[in-house]
Amino acid sequence: MAGANLTEADLRGADLRGAELTEADLRGAELTGASLRGAELTGASLRGADLTEADLRGADLQSAIWSDTTCPDGTVTSTGWSP
């Protein structure tokens, strides 16, 4: 799914463990409670995405684009997130 267009996708509770989402467009995606454990999110756009309670352990977020993104802990950021 590298480069996938998942703009505004409803992925609440989805099991995306280990998914290849390099440079994926996840703008405005609903990822509440999703498991992205070990996912490859290098260069992915997370603008406006909701990652509340998402599991990002071991996910590669290098160069991911954050802007008005709701992080797993409920904070909203434009600079990135770390556990």
Number of domains comprising the chain: 1
* pLDDT for position 73: 94
Residue 81 lies in a domain: no
Q: Which domain holds residue 25?
A: 1-73
8-state DSSP, 22: T
Looking at the DSSP assignment, which residues form a beta bridge with residue 60?
A: 40
Other Cβ atoms within 10 Å of 82 Cβ, number: 6
- Counting residues of the chain whose pLDDT is more than 70, the rounded percentage is 96
User: What pLDDT band is residue 71 in, cutting at 50, 70 and 90?
Assistant: very high
The residue type of 2 is A
Q: Where is average pLDDT lowest: 13-17, 70-74, 78-82?
A: 78-82
Residue 79 lies in a domain: no
Q: For residue 64, is pLDDT > 80?
A: yes
* pLDDT for position 83: 61
Looking at the DSSP assignment, which residues form a beta bridge with residue 77?
A: 69
Cβ-proximal residues to 76 (8 Å cutoff; 6+ apart), any chain: 68, 69, 70
Q: What is the pTM of this model?
A: 0.91
Residue 83 lies in a domain: no
